[in-house]
A and B are shown apart, each in its own frame.
Chain A
Amino acid sequence: MENSVLTIQTLTHFFGGLKAVSNFELDLPQGVIWGIIGPNGAGKTTVFNLITGVYRPSQGKIIFLGEDITNLKPHSIIQKGIARTFQNIRLFGNVTVLDNVRIGLHPNYHSSIWEAILRSGRFRKEEKRVRDEAMSLLEHFNLASRWDEKARNLPYGEQRRLEIARALATKPKLLLLDEPAAGMNPKEVDSLMDLIYKIKSEFNLTVLLIEHQMRFVMRICEHIKVMDFGETIAEGPPVEIQNNPQVIEAYLGKGGIH
């Protein structure tokens, strides 16, 4: 596709003898919100781990903005413009909310360690820039008043938001969200949805997300891929997916349709 952000071809990954992901294909256009759903163990998070370089794929190709990123190290992939959050929140718990975001800004930081020791003019200017940028990101996420709090002391919903803020600090073009609504009540899910729309347009993002909560996925995603046992069993717009007998079977088992 012409304007595709991420293209994945015949992506396959084995854990020992287990085929965790099999022939996964994706052509993600610029500026969309797409979702991957599927029962537990379907291989959704593995796909994210393959895209971000945590695992090396056994087979297949991942192309991001026209560049092959298949065998790059995670930090290089992130620096190219992909950011992600985690299913089980992975913040830097013992450091402050502000520092969590500032760490996300580090890859775009250019002063050397020598300049840090000597506190050069450029270093001080850059530290100020990093701090200001981090604070303005926190303001976006309504976390600015919490900047001095240790990340692990935040309530759950705020931790989720902080994780997204930290991901955005790396200045991504593509944002991968791994179960962003997990453990949230309906009201929180609604505000999360607003937040995703908001950041998508403000930061000019393309979003790919994994989710379990059907209500959420069906409402936010323009296009859904359904995985089961590593295979892609269906794909299409939400309405189609909702009524696809194969999908219902994967979730509810045979005889789920009456």
Chain B
Amino acid sequence: MKIPNFLRKSTVQFLLYSLAFYLVIYFLNQLNVLSGYPLLIIEISLIYVILATSLNLINGFTGQFSIGHMGFAAVGAYVSGTLTTLIWKLSVDQPIYQTLPLFVIALIVGGIAAALIGFLIGLPTLRLRGDYLAIVTLGFGEIIRTIINNIDYVGGPRGLLGIPQLSNFTLISIFTFLTLYVLRGIVFSSHGRAFISVREDEVASELVGIHTTKYKVLAFTIGAFFAGIAGGLLCHLIQIAHPTQFGFLPSFMVLVIVYLGGMGSLTGSVIAAFLLTILEKYLLPLGLQMLSAWTQPTFGFQVGVEWRMVIYALLLIIMMLFRPEGIMGMKEARFMIPEEH
């Protein structure tokens, strides 16, 4: 059978794969095969896809070492959550044509707020490199968390409760595919090559006429925007925004996804986001439970869920030893590379 020419176009393929993925999960859910927890895991995986690919733009493509990505997600989550829950007082009982537009607006406002913060964080990166920058971004994440902890209006340390569950699989899928589409468009263009040149050699990049400052700040701004969207989607899915959700450990998880998938590979971040979320939320609790069932009677101690951090660390060490470039290295699946012209 001859494949029609337009189906060979990578953008068409990208859309078809996205649609196929969506429909398969959608129908499996309708048939009650994937309802409940498994569907939630897939939704969270998709949110992590947004987080990881947007961090990849900063760390993988532009070569800036940012480790406080969840700080941006927190801004997006709290801004959108405040809008929907505290100001507009939306609820799922209202008809969808009333809530949906407002929710999308809230998400985008959250994204823009995060992008503004990302812009501000981007500014010190003009002077800082490597580990110094990492410490600034880490500190920034903690500052955001502490500030939220102290704002009573959004619940302080109790978290923002009672957020309406406006996120659903369809909406999360759309935002994920949009993020991927936008990022692949940016990365595979002259602008994308400018980002990459900053990673490869900042001095040489500046000396072939690239405005490196602009591109570093731009990477932070774009990355933060999508992280903000992801934060908004997340808190409207699990119906709570809590400071601990956005601390160092979740940021660390996003970082692990980026490294596991491959620095500078969007495809890798997508694969690793699914892999790690499924591992963390499903396989690991199951495995540890089974392990506990054996250690408890035999040795008299339980292997708690907190052991998953041990497994993470081990996973990272093993990967760094045997495949330091990550699952995909810098390669992309074909449908992630748009036609050049």
Contact = CB atoms under 8 A, between A and B. Distances in A.
Contacts of B208: 78, 83, 103-104, 106-107, 166-167, 169-170
Nearest to A172: B209
Interface residues of A, number: 42
Contacts of A93: 200-201
Contact of A116 (B186, B203, B211, B212): B186
Given A54-B203, A92-B204, A103 B182 contact: no
Interface string B189-206: 111111011001101111
Interface string B1-28: 0000000000100000000000000000
B210 A106 contact: yes
B186 A103 contact: no
Nearest to A112: B191
B127 interface: no
A104 B196 contact: no
B193 A102 contact: yes
A116 B201 contact: no
Contacts of B205: 92, 103
Given A91-B204, A127-B189, A103 B194 contact: yes
B186 A113 contact: yes
Interface string B308-341: 0000000000000000000000100000001011
Contact of B185 (A78, A117, A131, A170): A117
B48 to A, nearest CB: 22
A124 B191 contact: no
Contact of A99 (B186, B193, B207): B193
Interface residues of B, number: 31
B209 A170 contact: yes
A169 to B, nearest CB: 7
Interface in A72-92: 73-75, 78-79, 83-84, 86, 90-92
A170 to B, nearest CB: 5
Contacts of A131: 340-341
Nearest to A169: B208
Chain A binding surface SS class: helix
Nearest to B192: A116
Given A93-B200, A117-B186, A124 B341 contact: yes
Contact of A90 (B189, B204, B341): B204
A127 B190 contact: yes
A131 B188 CA distance: 13
Contacts of B11: 119
Contacts of B201: 90-93
Given A90-B201, A92-B196, A113 B207 contact: no
Nearest to A105: B190
Nearest to B194: A106
B191 A116 contact: yes
A94 interface: yes
A117 B190 contact: no
Contact of B204 (A79, A86, A109, A111): A86
A170 B299 CA distance: 70
A75 B189 contact: no
B209 A104 contact: yes
17 contacts: A54-B207, A75-B207, A75-B210, A84-B207, A92-B201, A103-B193, A103-B205, A104-B209, A106-B193, A106-B194, A106-B208, A107-B208, A116-B185, A116-B189, A116-B192, A119-B338, A124-B340
Given A74-B207, A106-B210, A127-B190, 5 more contacts: A95-B193, A113-B186, A124-B340, A127-B341, A166-B208
